[in-house]
């Protein structure tokens, strides 16, 4: 602005001097006419420059910016500078975007950007392969029109993405995918897919191997253990050493049988073709049965106390839950010194159903607790073996809990005792089921 007035000062002064001169030399009319003529020429000049600008603005990308005169020279120079800066800015942003796109395309995971309405905004080539998408045609499409598996539609609708979703047999390549959704920005979602076909194949091979080995071992073991028992019980066996050897052999074969049985139980629980068989379980009755079983297992060496606080029944698999609860009760007996107390409790707590076994036994130090459900993890190996443990009991409990969408919670104080609780969701309560 200052620059404008500096430039205008001289011509305006000259114009005024000329007008005053004409006024003195001739008269006021000549001076006014002179000024009017000058203003007319001046306006025509500016209109012409405006016309040039307007003409250029109709197609600024393809037309060269006009070279203005006087004040307009400065205006056009500023516009040229702005365009240049904008172009540079845009090129930098495009380069950054391309860079990001290249990096995302190089990811081994599939990436799909979804809008707030779950429409596809962009996907990388891996995602195109995983979901049979086409970035060129499918942008703007609702993802659920293209990925139509019911479990995916349900996962997307529930809006809780803490756990990944596993999708098997994805067409057309028959892939197994692990899918994760992440919220970001203004309600957009990032869908990340990982091909776990190979891992799943290896995991299936591992499960099959363990199941087959256990199965193959079972028959010979039963035969050996049967003969050992028979020999041991033979009245004609007089040799003491042989009797002791047979007693040891019998103990060890029984241990192996327990191990094989637990491995087979675990295999069954892991088998994807073995869905949960839900039935109505009268929990108070089951707890009473377990109470009797516990007393006989403990040889009445412990006080086993029943605490049935609700009559609610549970929806689940009787055999699986009986086995899981039995493992918890047998652990409580095995890890509680004689004379100790064990509480078997069934209660409703904050809408959840809770089965718990509390003991006054040896307890567990906090650093062991997170690892207890790992297979063969034992705090004290020899105590576990002496008491007939296989190291698989809590792994079985954890699997059974997972199959019932339940949570296993372990709390313990070393030297004072432990509590193992299984928290079942309210939807497994049978009265709730009847209401709905
Ligand atoms: P195990 O057959 O060895 O008992 P589990 O899987 O049932 O195997 O348990 C794993 C380990 O957890 C046990 O070896 C033991 O150290 C510990 N444990 C389980 N239950 C109890 C309990 N009630 N009190 C103390 N320790 C326990």
What percentage of the chain's residues is helix, strand, coil (to nearest 5)? 55, 20, 25
**DSSP for 96-130, written as a single string:** HHHHHHHHHHT-SSEEEEE-TTSBEEEE-HHHHHH
CA geometry: angle 34, 40, 44, nearest 5 deg: 150
Q: What is the pLDDT of residues 10-69, one digit of tens each?
A: 888 888 999 999 999 988 899 999 999 999 998 998 899 899 888 888 888 788 888 877
For residues 292 and 422, membership in a common domain is answered with yes
What is the rounded distance in angstroms from the CA atom of residue 192 to the CA atom of residue 253?
A: 49
Pocket mutation for ligand 1, best pick of 393, 408, 415 (most atoms within 8 Å of C-beta): 393
- Is-above-0.85 flag for pTM? no
For residues 181 and 209, membership in a common domain is answered with no
pLDDT at 354: 97
Centroid of chain to Cα 7: 68
**Residue whose CA is closest, atom 25 of ligand 1?**
363
Among residues 247, 270, 293, the one where a domain terminates is: 270
The share of the chain scoring above pLDDT 70, in percent, equals 98
- Residue 357 Cα: closest atom of ligand 1: 23
For residues 287 and 421, membership in a common domain is answered with yes
25: left (phi over 0), alpha (psi -120 to 50) or beta: alpha
Domain count, the chain: 4
Nearest to 329 by CA among 308, 303, 358, 354: 358
**Residue whose CA is closest, atom 14 of ligand 1?**
378
Instruction: Please tell me whether residue 280 adopts helix, strand or coil conformation.
Output: strand
Among residues 84, 100, 116, the one where a domain terminates is: 100
Q: What is the pLDDT of residues 350-367, one digit of tens each?
A: 989 999 999 999 999 999
| CATH number (domain holding residue 388) | 3.30.565.10
Nearest to 349 by CA among 412, 285, 419, 436: 419
* CA quadruple 160, 161, 164, 167: dihedral sign: positive
Burial code (b: 16+ CB inside 10 Å, e: under 16) for 99-121 equals eeeeebeeeebbbbbbeeebbbe
For residues 45 and 121, membership in a common domain is answered with no
For residues 312 and 421, membership in a common domain is answered with yes
211: domain range? 199-270
- Residue 327 Cα: closest atom of ligand 1: 7
Residue 321 phi/psi, 5-degree rounding, is -70, -40
Pairing verdict, β 417-424 and 303-308: unpaired
Residue pair 308/285 in contact (Cβ under 8 Å)? The answer is: no
Among residues 38, 72, 100, the one where a domain terminates is: 100
What is the rounded distance in angstroms from the CA atom of residue 289 to the CA atom of residue 216?
A: 33
For residues 70 and 114, membership in a common domain is answered with no
Cα dist from 237 to 226, 227, 240, 244, 426, whole Å: 16, 14, 8, 11, 59
- Residue 395 Cα: closest atom of ligand 1: 6
- Residue 391 Cα: closest atom of ligand 1: 8
User: Ligand 1 centroid vs 364 CA: distance in angstroms?
Assistant: 9
Segment-wise mean pLDDT, segments of 10 residues, the chain, 436 residues: 73 89 90 91 90 87 81 85 91 91 87 93 92 90 91 88 88 88 89 93 91 92 91 79 87 92 94 90 96 94 96 95 96 95 95 96 95 93 86 96 96 96 93 49
User: Ligand 1 centroid vs 262 CA: distance in angstroms?
Assistant: 14
For residues 312 and 393, membership in a common domain is answered with yes
- Ligand 1 first shell, C-beta below 6 A: 327, 331-332, 335, 359, 361-362, 364, 372, 377-380, 384, 389-395, 418
């Amino acid at each position: 602005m200052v620059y404008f007035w500096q430039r205008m000062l001289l011509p305006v002064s000259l114009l005024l001097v000329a007008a005053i001169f004409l006024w003195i030399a001739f008269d006021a009319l000549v001076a006014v006419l002179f000024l009017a003529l000058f203003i007319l020429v001046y306006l025509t000049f500016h209109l012409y420059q405006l016309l040039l600008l307007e003409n250029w603005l109709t197609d600024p990308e393809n037309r060269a910016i006009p070279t203005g005169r006087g004040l307009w020279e400065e205006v056009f120079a500023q516009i040229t500078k702005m365009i240049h800066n904008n172009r540079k800015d845009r090129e930098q942003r495009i380069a950054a975007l391309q860079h990001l796109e290249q990096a995302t395309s190089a990811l081994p995971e599939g990436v799909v950007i979804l809008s707030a309405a779950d429409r596809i905004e962009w996907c990388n080539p891996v995602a195109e392969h995983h979901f049979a998408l086409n970035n060129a045609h499918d942008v703007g499409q609702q993802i659920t029109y293209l990925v139509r598996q019911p479990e995916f539609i349900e996962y997307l609708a529930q809006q809780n993405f803490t756990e990944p979703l596993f999708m098997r047999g994805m067409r057309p390549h028959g892939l197994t995918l692990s899918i994760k959704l992440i919220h970001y920005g203004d309600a957009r979602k990032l869908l990340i897919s990982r091909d776990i076909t190979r891992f799943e194949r290896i995991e299936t091979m591992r499960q099959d191997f363990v199941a087959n080995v256990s199965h193959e071992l079972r028959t010979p073991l039963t035969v050996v253990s049967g003969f050992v028992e028979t020999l041991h019980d033979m009245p004609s066996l007089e040799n003491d050493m042989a009797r002791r050897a047979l007693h040891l052999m019998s103990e060890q074969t029984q241990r192996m049988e327990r191990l094989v049985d637990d491995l087979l139980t675990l295999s069954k629980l892991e088998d994807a073709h073995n869905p949960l068989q839900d039935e109505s379980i009268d929990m108070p009755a089951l707890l009473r049965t377990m109470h009797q079983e516990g007393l006989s297992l403990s040889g009445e060496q412990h006080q086993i106390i029943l605490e049935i606080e609700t009559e609610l029944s549970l929806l689940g698999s009787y055999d699986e839950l009986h086995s899981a609860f039995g493992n918890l009760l047998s652990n409580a007996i095995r890890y509680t010194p004689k004379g100790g107390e064990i509480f078997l409790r069934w209660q409703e707590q904050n809408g959840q159903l809770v089965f718990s076994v509390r003991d006054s036994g040896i307890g567990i130090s906090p650093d062991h607790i997170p690892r207890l459900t790992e297979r063969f993890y034992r705090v004290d190996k020899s105590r576990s073996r002496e008491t007939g443990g296989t190291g698989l009991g809590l792994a079985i409990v954890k699997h059974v809990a997972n199959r019932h969408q339940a949570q296993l919670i372990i709390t313990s104080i070393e030297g004072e005792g432990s509590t193992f609780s299984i928290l079942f969701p309210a939807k497994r309560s049978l009265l709730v089921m009847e209401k709905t």
